Amino acid sequence: MLTCAWVQADAPAAGSAAITQLMVQRVDGELELTAEVQFELSSQVEDALHKGIPMFFVAEAEIVRERWYWTDKTVASATRHMRLAYQPLTRRWRLNVGPRPIETSGLGVTLAQTFDSLPEALASVQRFGRWQVARAADIPTDTPHLLRFRFGLDVSQLPRPFQIGAVGQSEWSIAASASVKLPAEGAR
């Protein structure tokens, strides 16, 4: 069984982030999310990256059942943490991806990829392909649900001096969110 819901938007204005594609499918007993986020790094963020300071990005997918009589009920959620760092000795970019916040002392269980250039690494950060966000059995098909997707730069994981300097600075703000309705199976 395959059900699909998607949203497509225009490219973002300079200095902002936007989710240009968001698609959810039920495939082989899983709910899979495919998304594309468009953003450009500010010169301050790019300069910090070139100096070897890692940047942390977080993507969150939350499936909720909307209720008019109470707050929305969270049915399932998934989080993906990404750490992008430049390695000056090898002149390569390293991207670590994991389900939990990535600490600098130990990377824990993460998937790591290396790239030759910053645009290649950012392209991997900006695309989410067939990300399994929930088991389809956990999402009742008799009522409609809403998938909320959020993406952003996690300044709380930056070194302390950067956290203090980033407060209130639009150059350090990369955030986007979108939502898509998952129709009930009987509503076709």
Secondary structure in 3-state letters for 82-113 = EEEEEECCCCEEEEEEECCCCCCCCCCCCEEE
State pLDDT tens for residues 30-47.
Answer: 899 999 999 999 998 899
Of the candidate ranges 77-86, 90-99, 160-169, the one whose mean pLDDT is the lowest: 160-169
The stretch 63-72 carries a mean pLDDT of 86
Higher pLDDT, 162 or 174: 174
Helix (H, G, I), strand (E, B), or coil: what is residue 54? Answer: coil
Can you read off the two tokens belonging to residue 74?
């969270």
Q: What is the pLDDT of residue 61?
A: 96
Given a cut of 70, is residue 134 above it in pLDDT? Answer: yes
| Contact call for residues 156 and 163 (beta carbons, < 8 A) | yes
Q: What pLDDT shows up at residue 3?
A: 52
Rounded CA-CA distance 122/137 in Å is 34
**For residue range 71-82, what is the model confidence (pLDDT) as tens digits?**
888 999 999 999
